[in-house]
């Protein structure tokens, strides 16, 4: 198997119910180069990784046994709790016990912030340059803008984000690691203009950039390729997750109507990479044009497909788009010189 210009990795978040060794075995068998390891399940316990060198060595040993490398780590779940308001039963379901603690909201936020700092330190020990994740948001509950809410409340939300994340990003700077925020509903940056506003809020500091995941851009009618061009210096990581937009029927709205994934009444749904409407070839050509050199990670989600089938198919699809670049201009052959 020839090496692609980018390592192709599997994001392990959707596989956290399986032991880390089993996920590594599967990924290697399908032809992945490595993993984007989620700090979930037994895949990566950040506190243990920081406190016990033998634990971190055990993660490395498992990867080496299967011929895999780690190219990024994910701490989406703790990141969600850094800015969120309210903190409630949803967070209890996703956070580690040491982050949840007694469940009192501000304490949870503070412990989540400490876990994000821990993620940067652990990433450096793993020789990883990028941590992928969420930020949470104190103003997401007001996205409908009704009952009416003043601009000062929204501005305060971005100030809160900066106040909570600047100390985290200081640790990222100290460790030489960058944070790749996934632009996603529920976060401080969930679309094009909020991404710009989030950058403004932290003074465009280099430690803060984006994990380019086009799936949520699609249903919000945001051009995912244009996002790459406009934020070319902030694309720190790439996750491949696809979205299929169903033909408008006058009933199915963009917000999903509280319908479960895979319900045929939904106006859109996540599907396995390559089976939706994301313009993948245009995106990959543009990533090359901006000089992106990082991993291409597959985040597999599809309510209508078994994940063992989907993950194996997705890596083949992505590799089909990672062809070698030409060494000379295509029209050079016409030259007589």
Confidence of residue 2 (pLDDT cuts 50, 70, 90): very low
- The pLDDT of residue 329: 66
**Which ranges constitute the DSSP H helices of the chain?**
20-30, 46-51, 53-65, 76-83, 89-94, 97-100, 105-125, 151-175, 192-201, 215-219, 224-230, 280-289, 307-320
Confidence of residue 163 (pLDDT cuts 50, 70, 90): very high
- The pLDDT of residue 4: 54
Q: Average of pLDDT values for 317-326?
A: 87
* Cis bond before residue 175 (omega within 30° of 0): no
Q: Measured between alpha carbons, how far is 263 from 219 in angstroms, rounded to an integer?
A: 16
pLDDT at 3 over 70: no
Q: Measured between alpha carbons, how far is 75 from 172 in angstroms, rounded to an integer?
A: 13
Q: Average of pLDDT values for 37-52?
A: 97
Confidence of residue 76 (pLDDT cuts 50, 70, 90): very high
CB 121 within 8 A of CB 171: yes
- The pLDDT of residue 331: 58
Confidence of residue 1 (pLDDT cuts 50, 70, 90): very low
pLDDT per position as a tens digit, 268-278 = 999 999 999 99
- Residue percentage of the chain with pLDDT more than 90: 93
pLDDT at 325 over 80: no
**pTM of this prediction?**
0.95
- The pLDDT of residue 333: 58
**Residue carrying structure tokens 């490398």:** 69
Q: How far apart are the first and last CA of the chain?
A: 37
Average pLDDT for the chain? 95
- The pLDDT of residue 323: 80
Q: Average of pLDDT values for 271-287?
A: 98
Q: Which domains does the chain have, with CATH numbers?
A: 8-328 (3.20.20.150)
DSSP state string for 114-173: HHHHHHHHHHHHTT--EEEE----SSGGGTT--S---HHHHHHHHHHHHHHHHHHHHHHH
- The pLDDT of residue 337: 62
pLDDT per position as a tens digit, 291-315 = 999 999 999 999 999 999 999 999 9
- Taken in order 163, 165, 171, 172, the sign of the CA dihedral is negative
Q: Average of pLDDT values for 218-235?
A: 98
């Amino acid at each position: 198997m020839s090496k692609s210009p980018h390592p192709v990795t599997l994001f392990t978040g959707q596989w956290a119910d399986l032991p880390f060794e089993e996920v590594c075995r599967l990924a290697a068998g399908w032809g992945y180069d490595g993993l984007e390891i989620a700090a979930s399940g037994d895949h990566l316990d950040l506190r243990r990784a920081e406190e016990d060198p033998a634990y971190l060595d055990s993660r490395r040993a498992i990867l080496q046994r299967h011929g895999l490398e780690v190219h990024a780590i994910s701490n989406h779940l703790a990141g969600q709790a850094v800015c969120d308001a309210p903190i409630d039963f949803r967070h209890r379901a996703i956070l580690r016990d040491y982050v949840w603690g007694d469940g009192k909201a501000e304490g949870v936020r503070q412990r989540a912030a400490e876990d994000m700092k821990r993620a940067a330190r652990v990433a450096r020990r793993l020789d990883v340059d990028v941590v992928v994740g969420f930020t949470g948001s104190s103003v997401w509950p007001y996205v409908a803008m009704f009952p009416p809410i003043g601009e000062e409340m929204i501005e305060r939300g971005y100030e809160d984000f900066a106040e909570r994340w600047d100390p985290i990003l200081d640790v990222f700077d100290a460790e030489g690691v960058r944070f790749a925020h996934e632009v996603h509903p529920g976060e401080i940056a969930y679309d094009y203009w909020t991404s710009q506003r989030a950058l403004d809020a932290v003074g465009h500091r280099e430690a803060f950039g984006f994990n380019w995941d086009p799936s949520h851009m699609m249903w919000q009618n945001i051009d995912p390729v244009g996002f790459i061009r406009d934020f070319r210096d902030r694309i720190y990581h790439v996750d491949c997750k696809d979205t299929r937009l169903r033909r408008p029927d006058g009933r199915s709205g963009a917000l999903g109507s509280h319908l479960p994934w895979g319900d045929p009444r939904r106006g859109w749904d996540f599907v396995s990479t390559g089976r939706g409407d994301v313009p993948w070839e245009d995106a990959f050509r543009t990533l090359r044009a901006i000089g992106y050199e990082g991993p291409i990670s597959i985040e597999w989600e599809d309510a209508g497909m078994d994940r063992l089938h989907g993950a194996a198919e997705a890596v083949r699809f992505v590799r089909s788009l990672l062809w070698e670049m030409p060494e000379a201009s295509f029209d050079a052959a016409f030259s007589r010189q």
